[in-house]
Chains A and B, each alone.
Chain A
Amino acid sequence: MAAEHLDIRNDESPAPAGDSSALGIYLALTALAGFVTTVIWAATSAGYYWPRWVWFAFGVPLAFWAAVRRAREVPRRSERRLAIHGAVAGVLSLMQIVVWWFGDPGTFWPIWPIQVFVTTVAVHALIVYRDRLPFRRARVLTERVDELTRTRRGALDVQAAELRRIERDLHDGAQARLVALSMQLGRAEERLESQPEIAELVRRARLEAGNAIAELRDLARGIAPPVLADRGLAAAVDALGRRSPMPVVVEVYLDRRLTPVVETAAYFVVAEALTNVAKHAGGAPARVMVRQAGNRLAIDVSDDGPGGANPAGSGLTGLRHRVEALDGSLAVASTAEGTSVHAELPCES
């Protein structure tokens, strides 16, 4: 019983099983009719083979069915419609030819309706494949590039926002809990003065909690330094300059907060460039200029050191990838007079 129920449910699947069984019955009946009429034809005159019209009635639905069935297997919706259109037009054309051949093979009149069918199918095909026409192709590609640029930018924005959210969650979640833990361990330690051995164990546990907090802090700082999220690019770049071991002149011209992804990229360009100056320029002073002009953000970091920066070094390569992902550019010039890093980032609001 259960199996029967299951079968019934399977029959409810969207496959047009009813259509083909109706077609089967029709074909069986017309085939039978064709056979019977052929027998009658043979028994009577055996002249003009008139039962061919019965066979014609047998063949037309079969041809439609076969052609449409194949056309429906085309996966893309618009191409599938075209295929069905083509199949129907093809079978209709064939029908005309057969009718012409069965009848009076004089003027080849089916040429006219066939021309109409071919024209409609051709127009339909042009519509479906319009994007492959040469003049359309360039525009379609341009639109596609625009769309990809926009979506990639969106993905990067989402990623930057997501990273800041993770940083905030770490701060409010795991870090806060570890801080609460180390507070409580500290209080416990205070009360264990009379049992120094246990107090020592608690102290070590507290130090471990402190190490975990420090590791989480380093992780969060690598995502985006707090001052960048809190105060924006100008304050963060200023802080970088002040923290550098060599004298740094910082000039920032911005008229608004930039998106997190641009801020972070610009920040890391300045940070990495200043780190390089500190490492290789022998204490020579550095200049940082961050300037927003329209929809471009230009970043320049230069020093008067002895040069010799390797633009293919891992630090600069990492920076270049970061900048290019935003459709920006990074150029490094290093001569005996000094080294300069110039980056440009698009920053439309």
Chain B
Amino acid sequence: MRVVIAEDNALLREGLVALLREKGIDVVAQAEDGAGLVRIVGGHKPDLAIVDVRLPPSFTDEGVRAAIEARRRQPGLGILILSQYVEPVYTQELLAAGDGGIGYLLKERVGEVRAFLDAVERVAAGGTALDREVVAELMGARRERAGDAALDALTPREREVLGLMAEGRTNAAIARSLVITSGAVEKHISNIFGKLDLPATDDDHRRVLAVLAFLQAG
């Protein structure tokens, strides 16, 4: 797996590079700003770009805009955004930005090394990795919507599984996280899709999109 990193804070960039290299991931180039990201993606054709939201020169959402531009030039590029805050607007823009894996994680999740590497691999392979805070915010908004009986029809366990699906986790990862068997996870998932009236699919990515579409609907 070939990865590029765009992060202006040297401390974090070096930490991230060290962590990824330690785990045998090939960090082929690094950038400190949005223009640099677009350039190194063009030069190295990586599988994944790990990008800080705030980059120079604007220090606003430069990272999101540069990542979307980089993907426009290299369709299929996985984008894993690291941010110090949850901003659902950016998640929605990224999810709408063409084909390829999308991740949006809070920066401190990098410390959960295994889950982070899991997310890196998933996004590089075209999957989704949304921070649990993002999912919680989407779920909370959806749950509070008046007259929304659909979520209330789920059992607490099924809601947990729904949340993990929305984060982009695979069945195996969900099973590990909840300490249940894969069979139990599959059964929960089929119940959830039945109750929410979502189209069943084996494709993980489509499944995430269906769940997210449901959470954002209404």
B146 close to A246 (CB less than 8 A):
yes
Which residues on the A side are within 8 Å of B179 (C-beta)? none
Q: With A278-B144, A283-B145 as known contacts, state yes or no: A213 contacts B84, CB within 8 Å.
A: yes
Which residues on the A side are within 8 Å of B22 (C-beta)? 187
Which residues on the B side are within 8 Å of A52 (C-beta)? none
Partner of A182, one of B11, B54, B111, B218: B111
Partner of B141, one of A171, A217, A245: A245
Point out residues on A near B: beta carbons under 8 Å.
168, 171-172, 175-180, 182-187, 189-190, 206, 209-210, 213, 217, 220-221, 226-227, 229-231, 235, 238-239, 242-247, 278, 282-284
B146 close to A179 (CB less than 8 A):
no
Determine whether B25 belongs to the interface, using a CB cutoff of 8 Å to chain A. no
Point out residues on B near A: beta carbons under 8 Å.
9, 11-12, 15-16, 18-19, 22, 54, 59-61, 84-85, 87-89, 106-108, 110-114, 116, 137, 140-141, 143-147, 218
A189 close to B87 (CB less than 8 A):
no
Which residues on the A side are within 8 Å of B89 (C-beta)? 227, 231, 235, 238-239, 242
Closest-by-CB residue of B relative to A220 is B85
Closest-by-CB residue of A relative to B142 is A245
Partner of B60, one of A210, A230, A239, A244: A230
B146 close to A206 (CB less than 8 A):
no
CB proximity of A234 to chain B, nearest CB, Å: 11
16 example contacts (A-B, Cβ-Cβ < 8 A) are as follows: A176-B11, A176-B84, A179-B108, A186-B113, A186-B116, A213-B106, A217-B85, A220-B84, A220-B85, A221-B85, A227-B89, A235-B89, A243-B137, A243-B141, A244-B141, A283-B146
B54 close to A171 (CB less than 8 A):
yes
Which residues on the B side are within 8 Å of A185 (C-beta)? 111
A245 close to B145 (CB less than 8 A):
yes
Which residues on the B side are within 8 Å of A180 (C-beta)? 11-12, 15
A177 close to B11 (CB less than 8 A):
yes
Closest-by-CB residue of B relative to A185 is B111
Q: How far is the CA of A76 from the CA of B66 in the complex (A)?
A: 62
A183 close to B19 (CB less than 8 A):
yes
B60 close to A229 (CB less than 8 A):
yes
Which residues on the A side are within 8 Å of B19 (C-beta)? 183, 186-187
Which residues on the B side are within 8 Å of A227 (C-beta)? 87, 89
Q: How far is the CA of A229 from the CA of B61 in the complex (A)?
A: 10
A172 close to B9 (CB less than 8 A):
yes
